[in-house]
């Protein structure tokens, strides 16, 4: 099979850090063009808009959409209408309803739509899932605390309404937890902390349950300085499981059970090639649905102003 | 076919005003019991909890769940686990995820789950849908403005986090608009107004779009005194359509096109009997999904304190 002729839309930090290296190492793809208002990619044709790019380079077969979620629907619809497969960076859109609309369009056109959740491909996630399936879980705590000034410097879109705030990293935890737990969970209460000068939350505290009343909690905080935490801790009948470093490492009862190199984006692109080949889509909206549920059900609390 | 032996859970205003009269007039049902913390229904066995009721009256085949949405999941799961069909008052739950969980359970058990949207059965809704399908729509305005002090006196749950606030009536408009428009819509921006002393919004202003960039807007307000408005106005190539009084009346270019007596709850119970007979569920989450999207995407604005 000849390589998939792919283009990138929205050239920013995540594209340079992750998408370009992953594509460069994967023989299933040939990167042929990029479209971005500000960024460019060396060695290929660059355009200011997806429309200009699709007009000029008709051989494109697939696009990766990496702009902020508020602008993703338009681009995704344009690409699908033009007959291209679509890879959506996370979160897949600004609303659940617009992604549902894209799903229907991809289905009608016989194209592959991929709602990517990179953290699900973190090295120890499958091992954690297998461990949890082998025992009885007593409770689960998600602790996702990072320094937004370090990880998202000057990313204004992330603080705008629709930018999700602390749920931007938090949705990574949600994408893991919805994958590794044995039963679907749902939010029973939440508190969202909004800085007085921001339209998106800087912290969130969430309680979940499931059909068997499993106690699952999440603490998301963007004000963490010093040690950063991206941990999921499960108390089980077989002992304490810690999935740490955003899914990279697993330990059970203090013993390291899994520690391999990170391959998230390479695996995402392998998955995208696979679903294109199989002629189907992969769109699991449950992580974004939990975010929407948290905003709908959650109590709003105001906290002090926050500047980058 | 012998009548469906049904029970009511959560006996409040909507049950007395709508459910009991609708059931009394429908030979497909026999009302056999009720469970409620405070209310009772004359002439049948009454219980304090759904568990006590299901234990005592094993012949119950279906339950209508009419308590506030924050308490509906537990009751629905209890009923489905006990093998009963379930009618959910609107909104069907406090979160999208919990209703998705109930859908999966109903499916696994071969039971009927009905997410009821009474406004979809308002007299002129089908005529409005047919009119819109016959022409090209230029824009749509939803104006849903009512006096919460008159319609929801002392209903504290409606102001609690998860109580949805002005989206409690607004979701009726959303249930109509998602039924009558030719294509799915999605929210592109929203502003939610929260009284400083409340956890739920008192007003919301929402902009929607669709695959063909149709301009749809909604104004929800709970502070309306004097004339109340539950109107959907569409400018079309065939003139101006006004669906007014919550779907009860339809006029096109000022001429009354449809004006019949209201039969919403009788029609809901006919529909529930129909899906039980057909062995299937009827759960369209799109109205609640739009509410969740509005909370997730919307900008929060604080307005003056509000007391009943």
Say yes or no: A59 and A140 in one domain.
Answer: no
Tokens, residue B261: 């007596």
List pLDDT tens digits, range B59-107: 999 999 999 888 899 999 999 999 999 999 999 999 999 999 999 999 9
Q: What is the pLDDT of residue B109?
A: 98
* Domain contains B198: yes
Tokens, residue B136: 């090209």
B-contacting residues of A 154-173, CB under 8 Å? 161-162, 164
What pLDDT band is residue A161 in, cutting at 50, 70 and 90? confident
* Domain contains A204: yes
Catalytic hit among A90, A109, A213, A227:
A90
The 3-class secondary structure across A149-171, one letter per residue, is HHHCCCCHHHHCCCCCCCHHHHH
Residue A230, helix vs strand vs coil? strand
Residue A254 C-alpha, separation from nearest chain B C-alpha, in angstroms = 33
* Domain contains A287: no
Say yes or no: A53 and A102 in one domain.
Answer: yes
* Domain contains B286: no
Say yes or no: B163 and B82 in one domain.
Answer: no
CA distance B62 to A140: 35
List pLDDT tens digits, range A199-235: 999 999 999 999 999 999 999 999 999 999 999 999 9
Say yes or no: B129 and B157 in one domain.
Answer: yes
Mean pLDDT for all residues in chain A: 96
Residue A303 C-alpha, separation from nearest chain B C-alpha, in angstroms = 14
List pLDDT tens digits, range A51-65: 999 999 999 999 999
Q: What is the pLDDT of residue B149?
A: 94
Of A73, A290, A298, the CB nearest to B161: A298
- Taking an 8 Å cut-off on Cβ atoms, the answer to whether B96 and A210 are in contact is no
Say yes or no: B141 and B37 in one domain.
Answer: no
Please, are residues B124 and B264 in contact by the beta-carbon 8 Å criterion?
no
Name the CA dihedral angle for A232, A176, B91, B200, rounded to a multiple of 10 degrees: 50
In chain A, residues with a C-beta closer than 8 Å to the C-beta of B190 are 161
Say yes or no: A107 and A138 in one domain.
Answer: no
Question: Any CB–CB contact under 8 A between B216 and chain A?
Answer: no
List pLDDT tens digits, range A89-122: 999 999 999 999 999 999 999 999 999 999 999 9
Say yes or no: B83 and B42 in one domain.
Answer: yes
Residue B216 C-alpha, separation from nearest chain A C-alpha, in angstroms = 14
Question: Any CB–CB contact under 8 A between A54 and chain B?
Answer: no
CA distance B178 to A20: 40
The total number of structural domains in chain A stands at: 2
Residue B24 C-alpha, separation from nearest chain A C-alpha, in angstroms = 34
Question: Any CB–CB contact under 8 A between B235 and chain A?
Answer: no
* Domain contains B173: yes
Q: What is the pLDDT of residue B163?
A: 84
Of B98, B293, B295, the CB nearest to A97: B293
Query: In sequence order, which residues have a C-beta less than 8 Å from that of residue B2 and are 6 or more positions away?
Result: none
Q: What is the pLDDT of residue A162?
A: 81
Domain extent, residue B207, equals 119-262+292-303
- Taking an 8 Å cut-off on Cβ atoms, the answer to whether B292 and A290 are in contact is no
Is it the case that residue A1 has pLDDT exceeding 80? no
Give the Cα-Cα-Cα angle B3, B4, B10 (nearest 5 degrees). 135
Average pLDDT for residues A227-254, to the nearest whole number? Answer: 97
What residues form DSSP beta bridges with B4? B29
List pLDDT tens digits, range A18-49: 999 999 999 999 999 999 999 999 999 999 99
Among A115, A131, A155, where does a domain finish? A115
Residue A295 C-alpha, separation from nearest chain B C-alpha, in angstroms = 5
Average pLDDT for residues A119-134, to the nearest whole number? Answer: 98
What pLDDT band is residue A303 in, cutting at 50, 70 and 90? very high
* Domain contains A221: yes
Of B164, B186, B292, the CB nearest to A293: B292
Residue of B nearest to A77 (CA): B211
Say yes or no: B50 and B62 in one domain.
Answer: yes
Q: What is the pLDDT of residue A153?
A: 85
In chain B, residues with a C-beta closer than 8 Å to the C-beta of A300 are 194, 199, 300
Please, are residues B288 and B92 in contact by the beta-carbon 8 Å criterion?
yes
B-contacting residues of A 239-298, CB under 8 Å? 286, 289-293, 295-298
Question: Any CB–CB contact under 8 A between B211 and chain A?
Answer: yes
Q: Kindly report the CATH number assigned to the domain that includes residue B25.
A: 3.40.50.720
* Domain contains A52: yes
Among B99, B115, B131, where does a domain finish? B115
* Cis amide prior to A156 (ω within 30 degrees): no
Among A115, A139, A164, where does a domain finish? A115
Active site residue B90: yes
Q: What is the pLDDT of residue B161?
A: 85
User: Which segments within chain B are labelled E, that is strand?
Assistant: 4-9, 29-35, 45-47, 62-65, 85-88, 113-115, 137-145, 185-195, 203-210, 215-221, 229-236, 239-244, 249-252, 255-259, 299-303
Q: What is the pLDDT of residue A163?
A: 84
Residue B214 C-alpha, separation from nearest chain A C-alpha, in angstroms = 13
pLDDT tens-place values along chain B, 308 residues long: 699 999 999 999 899 999 999 999 999 999 999 999 999 999 999 999 999 999 999 999 999 999 988 889 999 999 999 999 999 999 999 999 999 999 999 999 999 999 999 999 999 999 999 999 999 999 999 999 999 999 988 888 889 888 899 999 999 999 999 999 999 999 999 999 999 999 999 999 999 999 999 999 999 999 999 999 999 999 999 999 999 999 999 999 999 998 889 999 999 999 999 999 999 999 999 999 999 999 999 999 999 999 98
How many contacts does A have with B, using Cβ atoms within 8 A?
102
* Neighbouring C-beta atoms of residue A96, cutoff 10 Å: 27
Residue B158, helix vs strand vs coil? helix
Question: Any CB–CB contact under 8 A between A98 and chain B?
Answer: yes
Which sign, positive or negative, has the C-alpha torsion A147, A152, A155, A160?
negative
What pLDDT band is residue A308 in, cutting at 50, 70 and 90? confident
The half-sphere exposure of B199 on its side-chain side, counting CA atoms within 13 A, is 20
Query: In sequence order, which residues have a C-beta less than 8 Å from that of residue A269 and are 6 or more positions away?
Result: A22, A23, A26, A28, A29, A87
What string of DSSP letters covers B180-208?
HSSS-EEEEEEEEEEETT-SS-SEEEEEE
Q: Kindly report the CATH number assigned to the domain that includes residue B152.
A: 3.30.360.10
- Taking an 8 Å cut-off on Cβ atoms, the answer to whether A292 and B296 are in contact is yes
- Taking an 8 Å cut-off on Cβ atoms, the answer to whether B296 and A300 are in contact is no
* Domain contains B285: no
Cα distance between the two ends of chain A: 47
- Taking an 8 Å cut-off on Cβ atoms, the answer to whether A293 and B97 are in contact is yes
Strands A215-221 and A203-210: antiparallel
Query: In sequence order, which residues have a C-beta less than 8 Å from that of residue B183 and are 6 or more positions away?
Result: B210, B211, B212, B214
Q: What is the pLDDT of residue A157?
A: 83
Say yes or no: A43 and A184 in one domain.
Answer: no
Say yes or no: B54 and B19 in one domain.
Answer: yes
* Cis amide prior to B297 (ω within 30 degrees): no
- Taking an 8 Å cut-off on Cβ atoms, the answer to whether B100 and A189 are in contact is no
Question: Any CB–CB contact under 8 A between B73 and chain A?
Answer: yes
Q: What is the pLDDT of residue B258?
A: 82
Tokens, residue A163: 């930018």
User: Which segments within A61-164 are labelled E, that is strand?
Assistant: 62-65, 85-88, 113-115, 137-145
Say yes or no: A73 and A154 in one domain.
Answer: no
Question: What phi, psi does B141 have (nearest 5°)?
Answer: -120, 130
What letter does residue B10 receive in the DSSP assignment?
S
In chain A, residues with a C-beta closer than 8 Å to the C-beta of B188 are 94
Say yes or no: B246 and B126 in one domain.
Answer: yes
């Amino acid at each position: 099979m000849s390589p998939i002729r792919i283009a990138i839309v929205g050239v920013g930090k995540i594209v340079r850090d992750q998408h370009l290296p992953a594509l460069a190492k994967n023989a299933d793809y040939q990167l042929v063009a990029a479209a971005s208002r500000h960024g460019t990619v060396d060695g290929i044709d660059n355009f200011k808009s997806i429309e200009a790019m699709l007009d000029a380079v008709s051989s494109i077969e697939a696009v990766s959409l990496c702009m902020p979620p508020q602008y993703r629907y338009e681009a995704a619809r344009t690409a699908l209408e033009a007959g291209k497969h679509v890879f959506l960076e996370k979160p897949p859109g600004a609303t659940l309803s617009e992604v549902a609309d894209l799903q229907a369009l991809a289905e009608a056109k016989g194209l592959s739509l991929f709602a990517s959740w990179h953290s699900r491909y973190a090295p120890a996630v499958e091992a954690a899932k297998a461990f949890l399936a082998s025992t009885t879980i007593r409770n689960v705590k998600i602790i996702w605390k990072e320094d937004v000034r370090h990880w998202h410097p000057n990313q204004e879109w992330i603080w705008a309404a629709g930018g999700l705030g602390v749920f931007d990293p938090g949705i990574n935890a949600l994408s893991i937890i919805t994958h590794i737990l044995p039963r679907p969970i749902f939010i029973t209460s939440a508190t969202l902390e909004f800085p007085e000068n921001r339209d998106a939350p800087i912290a969130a505290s969430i309680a979940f349950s499931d059909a068997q009343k499993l106690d699952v909690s999440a603490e998301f905080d963007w004000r963490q300085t010093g040690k950063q935490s991206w941990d999921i801790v499960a108390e089980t009948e077989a002992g304490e499981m810690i999935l740490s470093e955003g899914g990279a490492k697993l330990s059970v009862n203090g013993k390291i059970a899994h520690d391999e190199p990170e391959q998230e984006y390479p695996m995402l692109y392998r998955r995208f090639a696979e679903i294109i080949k199989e002629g189907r889509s992969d769109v699991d909206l449950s992580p974004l649905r939990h975010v929407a549920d948290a905003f709908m059900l959650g109590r709003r609390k105001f906290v002090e102003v926050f500047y980058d």
